[in-house]
Structure 1
Amino acid sequence: MFARLPGWARQHLAALRILLVFTVVVGLAYPLAILAIAQLPGLHGRAEGSFVTDAAGHRVGSSLIGQDFTDASGNPVPGYFQSRPSAAGGGYDPTSTSASNLGPEDVADSFDDPATRGVDESRQSLLTQVCTRSHDIGAFDGADGRRPYCTASGVGAVLAVYHAGPGFTGRVTKVVSVNELCPTRPFLVTYAGVPVSCRTLADDITAGRQVLIRGDAPARPAVPADAVTASGSGLDPQISTAYADLQVARVARARGLAPARVQSLVKAHTSGRALGFLGEPAVNVLNLNRALDALTPARQ
């Protein structure tokens, strides 16, 4: 019967048959086969999202997605290991997975002008975000929070240096601390013999030569990189062993446990490199904190 149809009609019918076959195979059979495989023992939990439950059977998170361990005011709870920062939505939002998209040259903060009502123009640079986190973590964990190119107060140590001549030539006429808004006292008193002033909203910092001041921070900061930078996805559930080790003393003190006991839990929840050589060993924060709760409740 189809042989009597014109060529164009037979081609359309053949295309329709291919469409139907692939719809059944790819749209129905394949997904159902994958769903059936996912129900096998050992795979079901992973297929359902790797949810983690407490002793009462309530879901407390997923071992694949990080979360914050903070109180109602957003402050970190001393008795819990803290996760790395997240730029996904308000933090660890699976529907807004993202990075900050800020690069190493993002070192100047923006400040809100009170004259502009209804618009908040303030924004921390990547450098200040790193400096602030390192400063706060250092204070929280009793460690040295100093970092190169950061002030003691935890902002980027950046100067705008103005010259008398064109193209940043000639004598220095003015120096402004870019990330310290007046009336804050600048982190440096003078630069090139010129007093350093705090920044005002009227200062055009783009007209000055940008100078970063390294300071006296150690070459290898005590606060590791993953503690002060967000991951590419914003959802990482693990932290480095270095960041976990930094928190052991504080968690042990808050829970009344021996540091060696807490350290043994860290080791038990440390996974090795993928395939034995990819990446670095990491610690799953949620599983580690659940193990701590099984020993003793956190004291907030």
Structure 2
Amino acid sequence: MRLPSWLSQHLAALRALLVFTVLLGLAYPLALVAAGHLPGLNDRADGSLLTANGRTVGSALLGQSFTDVDGNPVPRYFQSRPSAAGDGYDPTSTAASNLGPESVVDTIATDPEESTQSLLSQVCARSRAVGELDGVDGRRPYCTADGVGAVLAVFRADGLTGRVTRVVSVNQAAPATPFVTSWQGVPVELAQPGEDYVAAGGLITPVRGDAPAEPAVPADAVTASGSGLDPHISPAYAQIQVNRVARQRGADPAAIRRLVDQHTTGRALGFMGEPGVNVLELNLALDEQFAAR
């Protein structure tokens, strides 16, 4: 008996659905799970989890912060790079800040909750904090001594030309002290909350200052990675933290440096990327070999 054409078409479609369900919904996923348990791949398939004292403490593939309940760095640990993922290293909110090189003017409001920092001020504040924590020079070009962007709004009599009539340090509000007292003979004012000096016609002028051209605090200590989840820091950032960690743990700095070297990985395939230090793995090794005093 010959089936109606419409019924034959539906049965063919059903058979195709069943075949592809078995292949793509069962066989393919199970094959991938099996491949993930091959020697050398099983730890990565499970998330490269790290344990201490029988307890899972994190993943070698995801960064995390080493801070106290108030968000302050714990001095006995190496510190990670900043993160813009959620409240920091949140895998469900992986993201960058989307701020670029032209982000140099802060939003200063009466309500601190409505104030926002430019990328420049974030970098300046972080560099200053790292410098104080690790006892190195935290100065950077275009940063003030109090850790914000050294940026002026310069007003001229004829817009972009003519004599200077007014100068405002746009990222400093009372009770700060202007990072320069005058500009081309005109006293520098502090910014007022709620004022938009760009819209008012001020010419935004970053001021380099006298900071060294090569800052002691490396770039990865003051900028977040694109994903916000990078578990590595540069060897340069690790090295400026050695003396602090050694002091906190009563250890020889040379021994801490050797431990850093042991946890430094080279470029992928020998030429891609830069060397890195996995902070979680390094801190776990510290706890194992140099217990805090």
TM-score class, shorter-chain normalisation, is over 0.9
1:98-146 deviations in Å (ceiling 9; x for gaps): 11011110111112224xxxx9311011000000000110111111111
Aligned to 2:95: 98
Deviation at 1:246, TM superposition (A): 1.1
Superposed displacement of residue 9, structure 1? 5.0
Measured in 2, the distance between the counterparts of 1:169 and 1:9 equals 82
Q: Are 1:39 and 2:49 an aligned pair?
A: no
Identity %: 64
Deviation at 1:11, TM superposition (A): 4.4
8 Å contact kept, 1:146–1:152: yes
Equivalent residue letter for 2:147: G
Farther off after superposition, 124-133 or 248-257: 248-257
Aligned residue among 5, 22, 37 for 1:24: 22
Q: Cα offset for 1:298?
A: 2.7
Q: 1:201 aligns with which of 185, 193, 203?
A: 193
Give 3-state SS (helix, strand or coil) of 1:120's partner. Answer: helix
Q: Is the 8 A contact 2:110 2:194 kept in 1?
A: no
The answer as to whether partners of 1:109 and 1:124 remain within 8 angstroms in 2 is: yes
The answer as to whether partners of 1:97 and 1:234 remain within 8 angstroms in 2 is yes
Distance in 2, matches of 1:162 and 1:13, equals 78
- One-letter identity of the residue aligned with 2:138: G
Alignment of 1:139 with 2:132, yes or no, is yes
TM-score (norm 1): 0.93
Deviations 1:145-165 (A, max 9, x none): 111110111100000001111
Matches for 1:146-185 after TM superposition, within 5 Å? 146-166=139-159, 168-185=160-177
Uncovered stretches (5+) of structure 2, i.e. residues with no partner: none
Measure, in 1, the Cα distance between the counterparts of 2:233 and 2:165. Answer: 46
Q: Which amino acid aligns with 1:5?
A: P
User: Retained in 2: the 8 A contact 1:52–1:59?
Assistant: yes
Corresponding position of 1:249: 243
Q: Is 1:127 equivalent to 2:124 in the alignment? A: no
Aligned 8 A contact 1:80 1:298 in 2: no
**Residues 236-275 of structure 1 mapped to structure 2, 5 A cutoff:** 236-275=230-269
Partner residue of 1:191 out of 180, 183, 191: 183
Which position in structure 1 is the counterpart of 2:273?
279
What per-residue deviation string (whole Å, max 9, x for no partner) do you get for residues 173-214 of structure 1?
Answer: 100000001231100011111010111125331120000000
Q: Distance in 2 between matches of 1:235 and 1:76?
A: 18
Deviation at 1:235, TM superposition (A): 0.5
Q: Structure 1 residues 223-232 or 19-28, which shifts more?
A: 19-28
> Structure 1 stretches of 5 or more lacking a match?
none
Amino acid at match of 2:106: D
Q: 1:212 to 1:65 in 2, by over 3 A?
A: same
Query: Structure 2: how far apart are the matches of 1:189 and 1:201?
Result: 20
Which AA in structure 2 matches 1:289? Answer: N
- Over 3 Å counting, the alpha-carbon distance change for 1:202 and 1:268 in structure 2 is closer
Change (3 A) 1:267 1:59: same
What are the superposed Cα offsets for residues 33-86 of structure 1, whole Å, 9 maximum, x if unpaired?
Answer: 1112222333222211111111x2011111111111112222111111000000
Structure 1 residue corresponding to 2:288, chosen from 265, 276, 294: 294
SS at match of 1:205: coil
Secondary structure of 1:264's aligned partner: helix
Cα distance, 1:243–1:16 mapped onto 2, change above 3 Å: same
Is the 2:151–2:171 Cα contact (8 Å) retained in structure 1? Answer: yes
**Alpha-carbon deviation of 1:260?**
0.7
